[in-house]
Amino acid sequence: MITAVDVIRAKRDGGRLSEEQIAWVVDSYTRGVVAEEQMSALAMAIFLRGMDAGEISAWTGAMIDSGECLSLRVNRPTVDKHSTGGVGDKITLPLAPLVAACGAAVPQLSGRGLGHTGGTLDKLESIPGWRAELSTDEISRQLNEIGAVVCAATEGLAPADKKLYALRDVTGTVESIPLIASSIMSKKIAEGSAGLVLDVKTGSGAFMKSLDQARELARTLVAIGTAHGVATTALLTEMGTPLGRAVGNAVEVAEAVEVLRGGGPADVVELTVALAREMLALAGLSADPAEVLASGAAYETWCRMIAAQGGDPEAPLPKPRHVHVLAAPADGVLSGLDAYAVGVAAWRLGAGRARREDPVQHAAGILLHAKPGDRVTAGEPLLELHTDTPDAVAGALEALDGAVQVGPPPERLPLVHEIVRS
């Protein structure tokens, strides 16, 4: 007979959990048989002792089995993308319609922001009328008719992960690679896509601060996908500086539309195209995403995708009630702009949330007038802080204290550090 205490003790003492133990404890926790305090103890034991590849794969499988798997009836090759989270990371917005315009089906089930990282659904909800909640039939129909859908996960998808994610958030176990990897992959595998490309970020604005940590996570994710029959590739990408020039909700949607219309910041375009190439390779399609982006076809797909979910792609986006301009402190070259600090500042302005039930301000965020490597002039605008609550500016400025450096030109880090394949 398996008991929660025996499973906790086994992992606490550095033992290896069997598939039977893992299946039992995940199922029992989902049904409420294993208490929150017992799963908290087990999560901490996993955080401290780790798991081997077999345990992680079994844990992922148990979380998938806790709920339903989507049965998508789609007439195109399916491929999805997941980012581990960053600052200014609006890549899903141009990427999904771009890959769809190249001939694939992209079932992008996304989440909401928490803390300093933004949520794709929060961003899209700044578009008047757009809705995140779709049924499985609606998802399948939209994929067949348009090729892309960005929406919330259905209620029955990996319910064990929903419970465990909330528990990890309040028990100091978020950073555990086995628990991060199984959380990500249980939802993505349950979606039913044949291929998956992972954007694993590293740097101050990422959960994995070092390249070594990011590489370990990427390899773990790819191994899980491969073990469960999903063709999986991971890109290790830089997140020491915010992506693009917009951080927030409506401001990131506006920037994504710029990219889809053939403009936008070079780093956002570069990463969008790089991820699209990998997604199309997994889908077995030979289209050139750079050419398709330049043709306007991805923007047309975007408009259809937004309209299909009740949104008006031509409607004006929300504007903030208050704008505070932060000036450059000196003449010279902007040598540093810390992504984490900018993310926390945007969160404090109202773009993010501290708890899942908190509301967000659609107009809140930060516009960057310069990026590292650009010349700046003392007194000229450097950052624009957008909010509907002027009292929030003081906290945002506190978060930005020390985040801006003017000095020698910074080291140019590659946007894509490396690619991990199975």
183 is catalytic: yes
- The pair of three-digit structure tokens given for residue 146, joined into one six-digit string: 């348009």
Q: Among the options 161, 199, 267, 338, which is catalytic?
A: 161
Of 57, 126, 176, 183, which is the active-site residue?
Answer: 183
The neighbouring-strand residues paired with 117 are 114
110 classed as catalytic = no
Is residue 168 among the annotated active site residues?
Answer: yes
Q: Tell me if 418 sits within 8 A of 198, measured CB to CB.
A: no
Determine the angle formed by the axes of helices 36-49 and 4-12, rounding to 10 degrees. Answer: 20
> Catalytic pick from 11, 116, 187, 324?
187
Nearest to 87 by CA among 399, 334, 303, 335: 399
Distance CA 115, CA 347 (A): 7
390, 349 Cβ separation under 8 angstroms: no
Cα–Cα distance measured from residue 330 to residue 292, given in angstroms and rounded to the nearest whole number = 42
Q: Tokens representing 125?
A: 């909800």
Catalytic site residue 245?
A: no
Q: How far apart are CA 386 and CA 313, in angstroms?
A: 22
Catalytic residue, candidates 81, 82, 188, 362: 82
Neighbouring-strand partners of residue 407: 333
From 112, 163, 168, 188, the catalytic residue: 168
Active site residues: 82, 161, 168, 183, 187
